[in-house]
Amino acid sequence: MTTATYEEKVLATGAVRPPLVTRPLLLRFAVTLGASISFYLLLSVVPLYAAAAGAGGNAAGLATGALMFSTVAGELVTARLTARYGYRLTLAAGLILLGAPALALTGPASLTVVMAVCIVRGLGFAVTVVAGGAITASLIPAERRGEGLALAGVVSGIPALAALPLGVWLAGRIGTAPVFVAGAVAALAAVAAVPGLPSGRDAARPARRGRSARAAAGRGPGAEPPLGIVAALRTAALLRPAVVFAAITIAAGIIVTFVPLAVTGSASVAVLALFAQSAAATLSRCLAGWYGDRHGPARLLIPGLVSASLGMLLLALTAVPAVLIAGSLIFGLGFGVAQNASLSLMYERVPASGYDAVSALWNLSYDAGMGLGAAGFGLVAGFTGYPVAFAAVAAAMLIALFPARRDRVTGHSSRAALTCSPPITPSPASQNPATSGTPGR
């Protein structure tokens, strides 16, 4: 797809751009902040706590791996839960599962307790990102999808920017128990905003809706059934961006888990590295959304992958603080670009009935990648040391250039085959807060 073609389609809509920020979206952002603070505040602290309780780096990797793999399992069933109970009830339950178990970590260190808490919190986090993401997409006008996803990314990125390094800093100064309490309170407090969100019960069950309801959602009388997660996994146009993004999230899981352990000097170096990665990801995701809405997101996937790989390579110089921080920043830039571009591409390629499947597949690639990276890297680094292992991961990431290049070549025809209308044309479903869709975190 050429830039001119994309811009001509945008201009062809001839409509005034609708407002992006509404009251329901602000309430959704409040829930996002609470869930993200709870998740990121503990993300690097729990591995440190696990390392002190058990087998060092292996325990740290297992803790993050358990968290992310249970998240993946939860993402596979969340769509069924929302179809049965609606988004509000499911989202509230997810916040409770994310927050309350953290209180169990305030007692004596036990690897068994750590693993159990990580599994339960992972299930809760899965519900918050899939059910919550479905609500968010329904509140974003389709022709402003890139900007809307970027804004949602900034809201979720702010806790990553502040809470991820803050958790490590606080744990080193006041201990881990207050950090665990703060993480629990953040998620539980967010439950108060859930009643103001659209329930989405009817939107969660599009297969049961009548002909008129499908038409109101922008789907004709011959509307296709909603796309399921299994069908999404078999759809190359959706799987390619997800695989490319997963290659980057593998490295992201390694960074948040092992950078604090790999730094041999001052702990402040690890804090600055995590801060640089989060800040760069937040900024680049926002810029990628702005650029993608005007020129198309397809051309951003490869630069994001290459930037992330380069940043990972620089992390091999763990003994040089300036290079370590620079590597984290460069990785963050690529991560943010790929995060926005992959999700925007996947939404472009499905009708509204496929939003739940896109959300599940994209979050699956996010969390499975982080889990694989955290669980596998500890075993590799135990034999090779951190520098060699970081460099090996950087090289392995470039394998994803093959599906990225393939997607760049075939993406336009794939989108045309999967969607029933031009990807930048707004539909009533994309502007109606009572209907369903899905975006990332």
pTM of the model: 0.70
pLDDT band at 218 (very low <50, low <70, confident <90, very high): very low
pLDDT band at 313 (very low <50, low <70, confident <90, very high): very high
What does 152-209 look like in DSSP terms, one character per residue? HHHHHHHHHHHHHHHHHHHHHHH-HHHHHHHHHHHHHHHGGGGGGS---TTTT-GGG-
Residue 395 exposed, middle or buried by CB count within 10 Å (0-12, 13-18, 19+): exposed
Return the exposure string of 141-172: e unless at least 16 CB atoms fall within 10 Å of the residue's CB, then b.
bbbbbbbbbbbbbbbbbbbbbbbbbbbbbbbb
User: What is the rounded CA–CA span in Å between residue 253 and residue 23?
Assistant: 34
Residue 110 lies in a domain: yes
398 or 364: which leads in pLDDT: 398
pLDDT at residue 398 greater than cutoff 60: yes
Domains in the chain, number = 1
User: What is the rounded CA–CA span in Å between residue 284 and residue 210?
Assistant: 42
Mean pLDDT for the stretch of residues 118-144: 83
pLDDT band at 57 (very low <50, low <70, confident <90, very high): low
CA geometry: angle at 107 spanning 156 and 42, to 5°?
15
Residues 6+ away with beta carbon under 8 Å from 425: 13, 142, 143
User: What is the rounded CA–CA span in Å between residue 332 and residue 151?
Assistant: 17
Tell me phi and psi for residue 171, to 5 degrees. Answer: -60, -35
DSSP structural state of residue 352: G
Count of CB atoms situated within 10 Å of the CB of 264: 9
pLDDT band at 285 (very low <50, low <70, confident <90, very high): confident
Mean pLDDT for the stretch of residues 143-153: 74
Mean pLDDT lowest for which of 24-38, 134-148, 207-221, 288-302? 207-221
Residue 15 lies in a domain: no
Return the exposure string of 106-135: e unless at least 16 CB atoms fall within 10 Å of the residue's CB, then b.
eeeebbebbbebbbbbbbbbbbbbbbbbbb
pLDDT at residue 2 greater than cutoff 60: no
Q: With beta carbons less than 8 A apart as the criterion, state whether 88 and 194 touch.
A: yes
pLDDT at residue 279 greater than cutoff 70: yes
Mean pLDDT for the stretch of residues 66-72: 89
Place of tokens 């998740």: 39
pLDDT of residue 441: 60
pLDDT of residue 249: 95
CA-based R_g, the chain, Å: 21
Residue 245 lies in a domain: yes
Q: Taking all residues of the chain, what is their mean pLDDT, rounded to a whole number?
A: 79
What's the start-to-end Cα distance of the chain, in Å?
A: 27
Residues 6+ away with beta carbon under 8 Å from 235: 227, 418
pLDDT at residue 421 greater than cutoff 70: no
Residue 425 lies in a domain: no
Mean pLDDT for the stretch of residues 317-338: 93
Q: Given its phi and psi angles, is residue 228 left (phi above 0), alpha (psi -120 to 50 degrees) or beta?
A: beta
Mean pLDDT lowest for which of 56-65, 284-293, 319-328, 389-398? 56-65
Range(s) of the domain holding residue 146: 20-203+225-419
Residue 130 lies in a domain: yes
What angle in degrees, to the nearest 10, is found between the helix axes of 145-174 and 267-295? 180
Q: 172: domain CATH number? A: 1.20.1250.20
Residue 210 lies in a domain: no
pLDDT band at 87 (very low <50, low <70, confident <90, very high): confident
Residue 12 lies in a domain: no
Q: With beta carbons less than 8 A apart as the criterion, state whether 310 and 394 touch.
A: yes
Residue 160 lies in a domain: yes
Count of CB atoms situated within 10 Å of the CB of 222: 8
